[in-house]
Amino acid sequence: MNSRQRLLTALQCGTPDRVPISTYELVGYDSHLLENNDPSYRGLMQLIREKTDCLAMWNPASDEHFLGTAYAVPAEVRQWREGNRSVTHSVLHTPLGDLSQTTVREDNLNTTWQTEHWCKTSEDVDRALSVPYTPLTFDTSDYVRIRDEVADHGILMPSLGDALLMAAELMAFGDFTVWAATETEHFARTVRILHERNMENLRRMLDVNVAELYRICGPEYATPPFLPPEMFDRFVTPYVTEMVDLIHQYGGQARVHCHGRIRRVLEMIASTGADAIDPCEPPPDGDITLAEVKQRLNGHLCVFGNLELKLLEHGTEQEVITFVRNCMDVAKDGGGYVIMPTAAPINSPLSPKTERNYRLFIETALEYGAYD
């Protein structure tokens, strides 16, 4: 089998020639990816291209300005340096008043932190929602490049945020949980409005391009202990179900991305009709073992993940080998499993220890992942 066939077979909960190996955000077949142009990652990325199965995380460009709308809300942006950090402060002039946000990006780290969120109160949320909604337009001019680079080495996987994610990320995490718990009907109204935008934008995206697999992000914001299971069932299950149904209507497949403690919401995730779940973190970061995930899903969803990044960054060689072998022991049988780290390194240069452990992970997965 080639990698494309292997991944598509696993997504159908079938049994390929071996367990597919994904390195998550470390995408070997995307020439635009930062790691493919960083000398410290060169050797590892070459191994990834040669030995693993590519899930190219690619989205068509859009004209989104703010919160799912293409409306060009007036804004002011200032940028400056503070030591080894770049700081960006933005002010939006909404019809109901100004909102501000501050983000920070540190040198040699491939991530951005929000140190000030757009909304601090529910009144700020109303200001955010006062920005008129103009549906998004999508630009697929980059599609031919990424399709040709990936070819039979894997499949394409755009990432989508659900309405819960859009609402939750308006506020700092603690403020979001208080808002959801104490002003629940206001929160519910916000989620409904954002879901309506989300579905129209998703429909427009699918009208111009359909990839093999879509990753839906956001459900983790409603897992215990952040919100109780009944709120997960209210603010995740019905909305993600509609997203999955629409993706299926266009011939794509859907993977629900949900970090954290999924034991009490696993069947709710399965009830959305999704084709796969990730990253299934082991305890203590998660609260369920990989063996139990496989047993409870019973072949209804393909399982991605379980190998934590912190093990690859900090574990001993023997710990990595042992953990990968255990993943195969408990999840390989019956197919429908893709071994994958729960995240990817964000630092440059890449640590030699991290590279060594990634190589051990890949070689061990190849050794023990073949089906008879």
Residue that has been written with the tokens 């699918």 in this structure: 206
Which residues, listed in sequence order, are joined to residue 160 by a DSSP beta bridge?
Answer: 216
Q: pLDDT per residue over 235-278, tens digit each?
A: 999 999 999 999 999 999 999 999 999 999 999 999 999 999 99
Sheet holding 85-94, edge to edge: 75-82, 85-94, 97-106, 113-116
Please, which pLDDT band fits residue 367 given cuts at 50, 70 and 90?
Answer: very high
Amino acid in position 106: E
* Confidence (pTM): 0.97
pLDDT at 132: 97
Please, which pLDDT band fits residue 209 given cuts at 50, 70 and 90?
Answer: very high
Helix (H) or strand (E) holding 166: helix 163-168
The fold for domain 3-71+132-368 equals TIM Barrel (3.20.20)
Q: Report, as an integer, the average pLDDT of 295-316.
A: 97
pLDDT, mean over the chain: 97
Give the pair of three-digit tokens for residue 325: 């072998």
Task: Label residue 31 exposed, middle or buried (CB < 10 Å: 0-12, 13-18, 19+).
Answer: exposed
CA distance 64 to 4: 31
Q: Which residues contact 87 (CB under 8 A, 6 or more apart)?
A: 79, 80, 81, 102, 103, 104
Q: pLDDT per residue over 66-99, tens digit each?
A: 999 999 999 999 999 999 999 999 999 999 999 9
Give the pair of three-digit tokens for residue 371: 């089906």
* Percent of the chain whose predicted confidence (pLDDT) is above 90: 99
Q: pLDDT per residue over 145-194, tens digit each?
A: 999 999 999 999 999 999 999 999 999 999 999 999 999 999 999 999 99
Whether the ω angle into residue 132 lies within 30 degrees of 0, i.e. cis, is: no
Please, which pLDDT band fits residue 372 given cuts at 50, 70 and 90?
Answer: confident
pLDDT at 208: 97
Name the residue ranges covered by the structural domains of the chain: 3-71+132-368, 72-120
Distance spanning both ends of the chain, measured CA to CA: 14
* Contact criterion met (CB below 8 Å) for 265 and 256: no
Q: pLDDT per residue over 280-293, tens digit each?
A: 999 999 999 999 99
Give the pair of three-digit tokens for residue 295: 């047993």
